[in-house]
Chains A and B, each alone.
Chain A
Amino acid sequence: MNRYVFRFTKTGSMRFISHLDLQRLFRRMFKRLEVELMYSKGYNPHPKMNIAQPLSLGFESNSEYLEIETEKSYDIIDMIKRGNEALTEGIVLTAGIEAVPSPKNLSSIVEYAEYAVCLPTGGLLISNEALDYFNSQKSIIVNKRDKKTKKKVEKDVKHLIYRLTWTQTDENELRIHTILRAASNEVLNPMLLMEALCESVGISFEQETCRIVRTDLYCLEDGILIPLLDFCGSGKEGLYEKRKEK
């Protein structure tokens, strides 16, 4: 059995396609590449293909991860090259690695996600004190919609924030860099955090104008964050970096 892990982007208007759409897209891509995926057993077999962490509709990403299992072995560089011809603008395979087969799939080892956020401030300069205050609170409360009751409930998410830093380059925009918990059983959606932050520093929040880019996914080893791709390949051999096309 062979296992391959790919890193890919989801940018531009492709941020509007759903997780399911993305899975279909990759299934068709492998079909076109004539890469035969392994299938699960059972009455309704499905291909062994897994995307590490669903990305919310509307977010962009530089680093998403996809893993597949195959019976035969394939050339990773060839798969990436031809795969990119079978994909669409905005979804680009940027790296890949032949990984050691593992009983745990990617979804179960992801611990943290890193985001770059652009927040329009509507012409206001936000003072560092205001931001510091938000960050240093004992608890940071977000309004979360309960999945079952659909009611908004308050939730302290302070412990889910690994890092939160900012820079303001001009009066129209606040740039935020943050690393948040993204484990399968415990996730913090950056949109919720941004809403809370805006409220705290006194700017109005609009989901439509808040641009969020996921920049990487990490797992945790001895308390150190390790990017998913580095973790999957022991070392960097086999890593293929796609040259940025003009």
Chain B
Amino acid sequence: MNLEHKLEEILMRVEKPARYIGGELNSIKKNTSEELTRFAFCFPDRYEIGMSYMGLQILYHHLNRTDHTYCERVFAPAADMENEMRQANLPLFTLETKTPLREMDIVGFTLQYELSYTNILNMLDLSGIPIRREMRDETSPLIIAGGPCAFNPEPLADFLDVVLVGDGEELLPEICRRYGLWKRSGLVKEAFLKEICTLRGVYIPSFYEPFYSDEGLYAGYQKRIHEAPDRVLKAIVSDIEAIDFPVKNIVPLIEVVHDRAVVEIFRGCTRGCRFCQAGMIYRPVRERSKETIHKLALEQLRNSGHQELSLLSLSTSDHSEFEAMVTALMEDCKREQISLSLPSLRLDHFSFKVLEEIQGVRKSGLTFAPEAGTQRLRDVINKNLTEEEILSALDQAIDLGWNSVKLYFMIGLPTETQEDLDGIVDLARHIMELAHKKSDHNKGRFNVTVSVSKFVPKPFTPFMWCAQDTTEAFDQKHFYLKDRLKKIKGVTYRYHDSFTSHLEAIMARGDRRIGALLYAAWEKGCRFDAWTEYFRSDIWKALLEDYSIGTNHPSVSEIPTDAPLPWDVIDCGVSNAFLRQEYESALKGYATPDCRYGCNDCGINAYTPCPWGGVL
């Protein structure tokens, strides 16, 4: 029985079979010829999650617009599908042409969050591709990965042939083009790796060998091949206005997390929050002009029939033409009955006018992310948002008829004390008091949701040397907050499991030896670790014990600022000196102003122009 036939039978039994059929509007069908480089874009989570991710649409477009490469999509099958596939001996396949992954040229994974790593191992296994690099041979597809987590690729180094660091729009098609030439050359795989290892953004794990101290600490790395660069600088697209952005997006047939047109308005961020990895690794800020954004948005809407438009960036209001852009978009959306959603707005007078306009009577989604409870700690993390600003924004919001607000905080931040936890409670209380004072304006009940996440130290941030709280400490803080917040009427408190954050830190800052832990976890059945219902804390806890990863493990404890770091081999463009200086300022409680008030010498402008210093 052939693959398609087997598949049809299986699809009659599984949940949401349309996850596995492809055939969506604007998905690409190419004639598969020998000349084409066949690329499988793998998102290591479910279809509904992966199809809501804009990066997939961007790279799908950039690969398929070439005539040398055909990019197809693959997602992690859900548990019921996995069982069926294993029983029927059905290998993992691409959605577009139902080609088994092991017959593809390149299998590429996007690394969006650490807790998807076991899915990568599982997807390789479901494809019949040996998981460990050393078990693969010349006939195996090239296994590559990219995305934000690729900035510390070491935990996955044993499984990957190539890691792409930085912007993929130019680099990925170039790798595929060269792959096609190499395929016809008859040379061995190693020759191809040697050829591409000099391209900016390409890291070949097998060309580098980490070594460890007698105490078992990471101590540095050796190059195995002299052609390989000493450090791998991330790939940078200097001008995003000049490169294509997709306007014929694939439109999912089933409901996904975000079913909407999306335009990336800029990449990067000038604010410099010290816990935020995205704010560092995506530097410098690169904008699209408001005209381009407008044009892209309309074209996307026309080609998809979507009813919603969203703008993508780390901080929407920071676009230099924000007001004019939003005013123009709003007009068009209103006329075409498209709902416009503007995430991460700074709540000033203009934003309220906009929200009033686009949300009308159905007011929703007023959110603030103070991240910390006191001004002192907000200065430490460089989050430039004061209590006065929050309260005055809420004052307006209540007048305009909003009756709920969501606040996002992080606990376990460096230097945090009990006072900072009290600060969270106080802020929630002050908001409720304000709401009561104004209750004649506001007849209904007011609601504050306090959502608390846990600090995870991330590579290439000023806090990359910091310890993470133990799960016990997190839990204590959680109960402390819970006890106090539940006494305030109208406050809802949200909190997530501490142990997953602990694992996240281990994978985020781990070295190459974490690969063995991942492999063992996968072998014991761990999948979809980011899903509460599938997360096997029992297995993970036992494994951490087996691998003696305790609270003093370097991935979760404090690291001296002069110690070698597992991700030293990667260069994100922002200098270590800058990160160290930011860390010192943090410990002293000094804030660093937004770059737009003056360049802070992060170092990225040594590699690409950065015009933002002092523009305000």
Contacts and interface: CB of A to CB of B under 8 A. Distances in A.
A21 interface: yes
A48 B251 CA distance: 22
A29 B303 CA distance: 10
Contacts of B25: 28, 86-88
Contacts of A57: 17
A92 to B, nearest CB: 13
Contacts, number: 63
B24 interface: yes
Interface in B237-264: 251, 253-255, 259
B255 A24 contact: yes
B294 to A, nearest CB: 19
A18 B302 CA distance: 24
B9 A27 contact: no
Given A88-B25, A90-B23, A16 B17 contact: yes
Contacts of A24: 255, 259
B23 A13 contact: yes
B24 A88 contact: yes
B18 A18 contact: yes
Interface string A1-43: 0000000000011101110110011011111100000000000
Assign chain B's interface to a size class. 20 to 34
A21 B13 contact: no
A28 B22 contact: no
Nearest to A22: B253
B22 A13 contact: yes
A24 B307 CA distance: 10
Assign chain A's interface to a size class. 20 to 34
A207 interface: yes
By CB atoms of chain A within 10 A, which of B21, B254, B303, B305 has the most? B305
B87 to A, nearest CB: 13
Contacts of A25: 253
B11 interface: yes
Given A13-B22, A14-B23, A28 B254 contact: no
Interface in B31-80: none
B9 A208 contact: yes
A31 B307 contact: yes
Contact of B253 (A17, A32, A86, A208): A17
Contacts of A208: 9-10, 12-13
A120 to B, nearest CB: 11
A164 to B, nearest CB: 23
10 contacts: A13-B8, A16-B17, A16-B21, A28-B25, A29-B305, A32-B303, A88-B253, A208-B10, A208-B12, A209-B9
Interface of B: 8-13, 17-18, 21-25, 251, 253-255, 259, 302-307
Given A14-B253, A28-B307, 19 more contacts: A12-B23, A13-B11, A13-B22, A16-B21, A17-B18, A17-B253, A20-B255, A24-B259, A27-B305, A27-B307, A30-B305, A31-B307, A57-B17, A86-B25, A87-B25, A88-B24, A88-B25, A207-B12, A208-B12
